Amino acid sequence: MYEGKVTFAVVGLGGRASAYLAALREFYPDGHAVVAVADPDPKKRLRAAQEYAVPESGLFETDLELMEQPRLADVAIVGTQDALHYRETVALLEKGYDIILEKPISTKMDELLDLRRRAAAYPNQMVAVCHVLRHTAFFSRIRQIIESGKLGRVVTIQHNENIGYYHFAHSYVRGPWKCADTSGPLAITKSCHDMDILLYLLGADSHAQRVASFGSLGVFRPERFDSKTMAPRCIDCPQQAVCPYSAVRIYSSKKIKSVVFDMSSVEQIRQSLGDTPYGRCVYQAGNNVVDHQSTILSFAGGVTATFNLSAFTAKVNRSLKVMCEYGEIRAAEKPYCIETTSFFDDSTEQEQLDIAEGGHGGGDKAFMQHFMQSYLRQIPFSTTLENSIESHVMSLLAERSRLAGGEPQDVEAVMGGFRQ
């Protein structure tokens, strides 16, 4: 048992790190302490001092400043933008930290595989990757049904990530994940979660073999902009009242919870959105990530899966169908419903899971609970760097296939000696 409080250093005090700290405060109020925070936003550093009692000596403007220091805490939470994860994880491992690493591990194949090799040199340090969906009651229950064996073996899976039209417009057209060059391909920044869930549902002995993918940026393109009837900024646009992607409409509806703009008047809207990307027309935003992508995967044992990723959905959720020898499972989030049908007698059972809305259907909190239990009791953790590599390889190969016109990619060839 670990003696005393577990101390945390936070690199990037954004929404993800804040969710994990909130879980620590709820479940381990006397068992942890935040002792250092690095963030370029002075408001966030002030919040760290006020809310988490971080001393002035523990506040840093950049990740580099914090990483230059001797080890300041037991665990470092990496919650920065995706492109920084590699350099931060390498440096923090060298300093001796255990790490909670927000996904994706990296958005580049060479960095991903290099980090796996580097981490092997620190066998006594944990890198816990935030594949929080594995820790939800929803996906845990689906896996439990599969493992019961009553439906026989899995033959094929259809899995959908429904991004939601307004969420995609906010994060992937106007927001920080809009450009593959600076953030990463959509298949990994959004969906390494989903590749991981496919592996999770199929069980520890199942591995991906080949991947093929198709998709494009089909709608949010500059040629869709009509300068005669539209304006570059939504507040000035004649189509504002009838455009579903209008920033004024989306932010006034408060569908997006991650940011709050003052939308009380035209003047306040101009002040809030100003010259920020969040007020731009979706056809003039300078984005280049795909808005829809379909991926086909084959796994050991002959199992196949399709994964559809789309901006053009009303709901922001995941839905799936698991087709087995003797029955099928249909499931969808929000509300969390699982329907099982047996081929033996065509009987159907429905389960409505009582899941209070929260980060990833309770996954953020459950992830931190499992992490702390593992950390304090030194028991195995399910989403380490080692067993999270494969989902990232699958995602990056899906993008490689897409760029090659759907040419199948060999997962086995890349994974090489990394199989566990």
* Confidence check: pLDDT of 269 > 90: no
CATH number of 6-125: 3.40.50.720
pLDDT-based confidence at residue 2 (cuts at 50, 70, 90): very low
| Tokens linked to 342 | 């047996």
Kindly state the average pLDDT of the residues 104-128: 94
Question: In CATH, what class is 134-220+288-359+385-418?
Answer: alpha beta
For 280-336, write each residue's pLDDT tens digit: 999 999 999 999 999 999 999 999 999 999 999 999 999 999 999 999 999 999 999
Q: Is 396 exposed, middle or buried (0-12, 13-18, 19+ CB in 10 A)?
A: buried
What's the Cα-to-Cα distance from 53 to each of 2, 46, 113, 406, rounded to whole Å?
A: 22, 10, 37, 52
Kindly state the average pLDDT of the residues 367-379: 92
pLDDT-based confidence at residue 378 (cuts at 50, 70, 90): confident
Model pTM score:
0.93
pLDDT of residue 255: 85
* Confidence check: pLDDT of 182 > 50: yes
pLDDT of residue 257: 75
* Confidence check: pLDDT of 3 > 60: no
pLDDT of residue 122: 94
pLDDT of residue 362: 85
Q: How many CB atoms lie within 10 A of CB 255?
A: 15
Contact 355, 140 (CB under 8 A): no
Q: Where are the chain's structural domains?
A: 6-125, 134-220+288-359+385-418, 222-279
In whole angstroms, give the CA distance from residue 17 to residue 13: 6
